[in-house]
A and B are shown apart, each in its own frame.
Chain A
Amino acid sequence: MKDSCSSISKHLEKYFDQEVTDKERLLVEGHLQDCLACQDALKSMEELRTLIKVPVEEAAQKEDFPWVWQKIEREIRLKEKQTWWQFLRSWLDLSPLFKKKVWIPAAATIMVLLFITTQIYFKKIPSYSGASVVEYVESETNNVMVYDLEKARVTVIWLFEEPEEEVSPS
């Protein structure tokens, strides 16, 4: 290598990669005309590029890529497969409705219906909390009726005598 090779060598790789400025290109090309060592260095890089590139391209040509795509597709589908609770949640997901604020009249309607239903339900069923209890006891001599009034805490007792036997007309 000539002395000037050392100053060119820093541009030579950039020149090979087509990354030099116009000024640098002129400088390198001017030097290459007279320098066999730098021409060899350049050829060496070209040879190396071919040695790296060709096997990689040949390997790519041999592959069956549709099969690879099928694997990718299957893998994505598997990952996206929902569990049963995710499926249920997606069906029960009311968030879009909440966003639209249609829930306000719906909730008001539900509240009104609930109130009316409650009122009807409680009116129909009688309350036995203050019920009175009547007991009737029969015996050979007297009949007794006990009327237990719950609220007033009063007990009324009737005592009935045995009714006389009717005399049938002879």
Chain B
Amino acid sequence: MDHEETEMISRCQQGDQEALKEIFDKYHKKVYRIAYGVVRHREEALDIVQEVFIKLFHSIKNFKGKSHFYTYLYRMVMNTAIDHARKTGKQFISSLDEEGSFEPSDELEKGPERILLQKELEEKVKWAMEKLPAEQRAALIFRDVEGLSYQEMAEAMGCSIGTVMSRLHYGRKRIQELLKDYVELPSQSRGTPNVLKRGEPPKL
């Protein structure tokens, strides 16, 4: 933690809203990415960003500086996002039904083929991520989006490195299983780019 950040946190602990604004400016995109990665819904993710910074302002006094500030913040984001994901349940699952079959929306049908395929692919990944337990989803976001190390992830998630590795491993494995019949990953067709097999429901 650099001197500037220490000073910023210290001012925020004394109730300085300007300091909170500085923290917001520095971290809001990361907070949003983690929140969005877990809940996969725009408005919900924005609500989480708002909730996290309000919570932070009132609880930052409890931050003793024993860990990195960002892992403290990420933990708060992850817990808030997981709470939201559990409360809202499956209401954000878009055009994929409970059985996992995919019905392209009318809007997607209208676009050019390439855009359509890309959109479908995004929807499919979104659907697959939603199928994961929230902790595995958070682990994938921390590692694959934010690039946190295992140690940082363990701090942020409040668990051991072993648990982090396990969550990552099972998360990746499950997503690959969910996408294997829909998206050709290199393990199935080496050297070829992702190709959507439209109309084929995934085998679950």
Show the binding face of A for B, using Cβ within 8 Å: 13-14, 17, 19, 36, 39-41, 43-45, 47-49, 51-53, 55-57, 59-60, 63, 65, 68-69, 71-73, 75-76, 79
Contacts and interface: CB of A to CB of B under 8 A. Distances in A.
B186 A56 contact: no
B36 A56 contact: yes
From DSSP, what is the main secondary structure of chain A's interface residues?
Answer: helix
B168 A53 contact: no
A84 B49 CA distance: 32
B21 interface: yes
A52 B176 CA distance: 12
Nearest to B45: A59
Nearest to B194: A47
Contact of A48 (B21, B28, B42, B185): B185
B143 A13 contact: no
B33 A43 contact: no
Given A39-B190, A69-B28, 13 more contacts: A17-B168, A43-B187, A44-B185, A45-B172, A48-B179, A51-B183, A51-B194, A52-B125, A53-B145, A60-B29, A72-B20, A72-B53, A75-B54
From DSSP, what is the main secondary structure of chain B's interface residues?
Answer: helix
B93 interface: no
Interface of B: 17, 20-21, 24, 28-29, 32-33, 36-37, 42, 45-46, 49-50, 53-54, 57, 121-122, 125-126, 129, 140-141, 143-145, 149-150, 165, 168-169, 172, 175-176, 179, 183, 185-187, 190, 194
Given A19-B150, A72-B50, A55 B32 contact: no
Contacts of A79: 54
